[in-house]
Amino acid sequence: MSQLEKAQAEYEGFTQDFESVIISTVNEQSIPNASYTPFVMDDAKNVYIYVSGLSTHTQNIYANPHVCVLFIEDETKTNQIFARRRLSFDCTATLIERESDTWNQVVDQFQQRFGEIIEVLRSLADFRIFRLTPTEGRFVIGFGAAYHISGDRLNQLTQITGDKA
């Protein structure tokens, strides 16, 4: 098995170990905010987040729909702190209309994954669901082992080399 094939296999299962994702948003004044939120993901790699309308990151998404998400290996599980395995996606956020078919399907996925707390959130009018659609990404599994992910081929890694071609 080639290095690329090993990386591809690792990439395909990487997000399964996570219940939450780190999100980076920017407000109208271009001030960044880092936060986290539980998520569910579909087969097309869209990340769905269920967030309070009162939170800074939600207000930022309304102001600027460009969001970066980061899945990063637990520090206690890494062999090298300078080369933690990580996957990031640059995404565009879209609000899912409350009580639409898609909204109900995503809420059901959240309930299956996270349990009773979702019943409470479902009753709170200020909670919103956003679909974060990746446009591109990067998967890093060690020194010299970084891979680009293109928005039109989210399931296919391309190794990043030092070439400027």
Model confidence over 8-39: pLDDT tens digits? 999 999 999 899 999 999 999 999 999 999 99
Q: What is the pLDDT of residues 81-134, one digit of tens each?
A: 999 999 999 999 999 999 999 999 999 999 999 999 999 999 999 999 999 999
Q: Report pTM.
A: 0.92
Q: Determine the Cα–Cα distance for residues 144 and 46; give it in Å rounded to an integer.
A: 27
- Bridge partners, residue 66, by sequence: 92
Give me the domains of the chain, ranges plus CATH numbers.
Answer: 3-159 (2.30.110.10)
Q: How far is CA 83 from CA 30, 109, 131, 146, in A?
A: 29, 32, 29, 10
